[in-house]
């Protein structure tokens, strides 16, 4: 039996690396028809189809997706821990109630449910935060680390230990950091108002020093707020300067920056670019939780200023954040759910290169994966093919998809 497989599909032109000599037809939606051939899970040929062959095209092809920011330790906990006020403060207090009842078994069950959805829906890698307390339950982390091995053929996992900042100055913090180095982990925390400047400065220094010592990346929830715009990122930038810190840093959310004047956004953006800090915009939770008023609608929707940051060459990813937990009651680890909500919210066009890059390529770079999601010779045949021939079909309700993992149609 031949191992060759070929598929004739439309592919967003901006995520294809095909020979400049090929004359490509590109439709108004920025999609180009290609015949893609693979053998033993690797793409060995890409041919341009011409306009007369469009009838043979079966669907639109995407690289399998990468989730830049998830919380699979609490996903699907909404039923037991609903946040009916739908604001940030109440999400936090319901989250703390959930912590009291947390066991390794419950966490692993939620994580596995999340992973099954994610794989079926078309993800190939996920960076997820895991709530971590001052006195840490080792058992949860050991089982979380085992999941990485268990799912390694289907999906890559990266963990951020989301702890109170002061945790990273304790012995337990150091012990966990050491374990994270062996398990593709990162150090995490929350940097949002109210700020106690003195204690935050010392905690931030401890965190950065620990990360430098173990050569670990950092991913912080920064400025997820509608007050004190940009205060968190400014404190972080000062500490980075003070310690001359060179480790990779991700700022998740960075929402309140948007409330600054455009001139100030660019000033902070320039410093973010200069430090090579990566940003993750999380429009779903930001639009749901922040600046909420039970009686009035407001146009103020703090979310990372993607367009300004991209203009300054900051690598911005768009992520989903929470799924059916006190922070966000909807979603099911579906990249098309994310795209179809995030694009209208952020006014970014699916036919523009930078919009797709934030969803398809930037997250791969963020997780430092082997493949950046660009369709090219030698790339893995890790695809999601959806029925349809324009973006309207992709963002409709009845999406039919096929997921290919290492060249094989994944059917569960
Ligand atoms: Zn988050």
Tens digit of each residue's pLDDT (9 = 90 or more) over 82-133: 999 999 999 999 999 999 999 999 999 999 999 999 999 999 999 999 999 8
| Alpha helices in 33-103, H assignment, sequence order | 88-100
The pTM for the full model equals 0.97
Q: Which superfamily, per CATH, for 65-366?
A: Metal-dependent hydrolases (3.20.20.140)
Span from the CA of 70 to the centroid of ligand 1 (angstroms): 6
Q: Could you give the strand order of the β-sheet that contains 278-281, starting from the edge strand earlier in sequence? A: 65-70, 123-131, 156-162, 185-191, 217-222, 249-253, 278-281, 316-318
Q: What is the rounded distance in angstroms from the CA atom of residue 42 to the CA atom of residue 371?
A: 12
**Domain coordinates in residue numbering, the chain:** 4-64+372-410, 65-366
Span from the CA of 302 to the centroid of ligand 1 (angstroms): 15
CATH class for domain 4-64+372-410? mainly beta
- Using the predicted structure, report yes or no on whether residue 1 has a pLDDT greater than 60: no
The pLDDT of 182-192, averaged and rounded, is: 96
Please count the other Cβ atoms lying within 10 Å of the Cβ belonging to residue 97. Answer: 11
Span from the CA of 224 to the centroid of ligand 1 (angstroms): 9
Check: CB of residue 46 under 8 Å from CB of residue 16.
yes
Q: pLDDT tens digit string along 294-320?
A: 899 998 999 999 999 999 999 999 999
Please report the pLDDT score of residue 197 as a whole number: 81
Q: Per the structure block, which two tokens stand in for 107?
A: 């966490």
Q: How far is CA 308 from CA 123, 264, 266, 312, in A?
A: 28, 11, 7, 7
Q: Per the structure block, which two tokens stand in for 92?
A: 């936090």
Span from the CA of 1 to the centroid of ligand 1 (angstroms): 47
Phi, psi of 11 (to 5 degrees): -135, 140
Span from the CA of 112 to the centroid of ligand 1 (angstroms): 18
CA torsion sign, 232 to 95 to 66 to 154?
positive
Span from the CA of 25 to the centroid of ligand 1 (angstroms): 40
Span from the CA of 20 to the centroid of ligand 1 (angstroms): 40
Q: How far is CA 145 from CA 81, 142, 205, 228, 400, in A?
A: 26, 5, 27, 37, 33
Span from the CA of 322 to the centroid of ligand 1 (angstroms): 6
Span from the CA of 220 to the centroid of ligand 1 (angstroms): 9
Please report the pLDDT score of residue 257 as a whole number: 97
Please report the pLDDT score of residue 111 as a whole number: 98
Span from the CA of 187 to the centroid of ligand 1 (angstroms): 13
Span from the CA of 338 to the centroid of ligand 1 (angstroms): 15
Percentage of the chain surpassing pLDDT 70? 99
Counted residue by residue, the chain has a size of 412
Q: Per the structure block, which two tokens stand in for 205?
A: 């220094």
Q: What is the rounded distance in angstroms from the CA atom of residue 278 to the CA atom of residue 251?
A: 6
Span from the CA of 221 to the centroid of ligand 1 (angstroms): 6
Span from the CA of 13 to the centroid of ligand 1 (angstroms): 31
Span from the CA of 100 to the centroid of ligand 1 (angstroms): 20
Span from the CA of 149 to the centroid of ligand 1 (angstroms): 24
Q: Could you tell me which of 269, 330, 338 has the C-alpha nearest to residue 62?
A: 338
Please count the other Cβ atoms lying within 10 Å of the Cβ belonging to residue 197. Answer: 9
């Amino acid at each position: 039996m031949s191992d060759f497989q070929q598929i004739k599909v439309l592919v967003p032109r901006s995520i294809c690396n095909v020979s400049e000599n090929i004359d490509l037809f590109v439709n108004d939606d920025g999609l180009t028809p290609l015949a893609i051939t693979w053998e033993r899970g690797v793409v060995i040929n890409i041919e341009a189809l011409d306009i007369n062959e469009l009838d043979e095209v079966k669907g639109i092809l995407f690289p399998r997706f990468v989730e830049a920011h998830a919380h699979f330790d609490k996903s699907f906990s909404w039923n037991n821990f609903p946040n009916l006020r739908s604001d940030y403060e109440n999400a936090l207090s319901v989250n703390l109630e959930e912590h009291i009842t947390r066991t390794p078994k419950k966490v692993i069950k939620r994580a596995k449910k999340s992973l099954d959805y994610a794989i079926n829906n078309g993800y190939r890698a996920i960076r997820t935060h895991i709530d971590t307390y001052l006195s840490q339950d080792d058992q949860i982390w050991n089982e979380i680390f085992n999941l990485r091995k268990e799912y390694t053929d289907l999906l890559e996992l990266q963990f951020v230990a989301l702890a109170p900042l002061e945790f990273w100055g304790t012995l337990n913090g150091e012990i966990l950091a050491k374990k994270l180095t062996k398990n593709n982990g990162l150090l995490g925390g929350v940097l949002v108002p109210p700020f106690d400047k003195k204690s935050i400065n010392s905690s931030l220094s401890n965190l950065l020093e620990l990360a430098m010592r173990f050569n670990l990346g950092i991913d912080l929830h920064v400025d997820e707020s509608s007050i004190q715009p940009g205060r968190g990122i400014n404190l972080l930038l000062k500490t980075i300067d003070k310690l001359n810190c060179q480790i990779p840093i991700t700022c998740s959310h960075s929402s309140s920056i948007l409330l600054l004047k455009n001139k100030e956004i660019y000033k902070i953006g320039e410093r973010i670019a200069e430090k090579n800090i990566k940003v993750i915009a999380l429009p779903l939770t930001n639009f749901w939780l922040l600046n909420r008023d039970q009686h009035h609608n407001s146009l103020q929707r703090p979310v990372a200023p993607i367009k300004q940051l991209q203009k300054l060459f900051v690598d911005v990813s768009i992520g989903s954040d929470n799924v059916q937990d006190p922070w966000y009651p909807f979603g099911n680890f579906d990249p098309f759910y994310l795209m179809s909500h995030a694009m209208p919210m952020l006014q970014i066009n699916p036919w523009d290169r930078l919009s797709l890059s934030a969803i398809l390529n930037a997250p791969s770079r963020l997780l430092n994966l082997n493949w950046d999601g660009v369709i090219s010779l030698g790339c893995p045949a890790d695809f999601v093919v959806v029925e349809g021939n324009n973006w309207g079909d992709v963002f409709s309700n009845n999406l039919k998809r096929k997921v290919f993992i290492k060249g094989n149609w994944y059917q569960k």
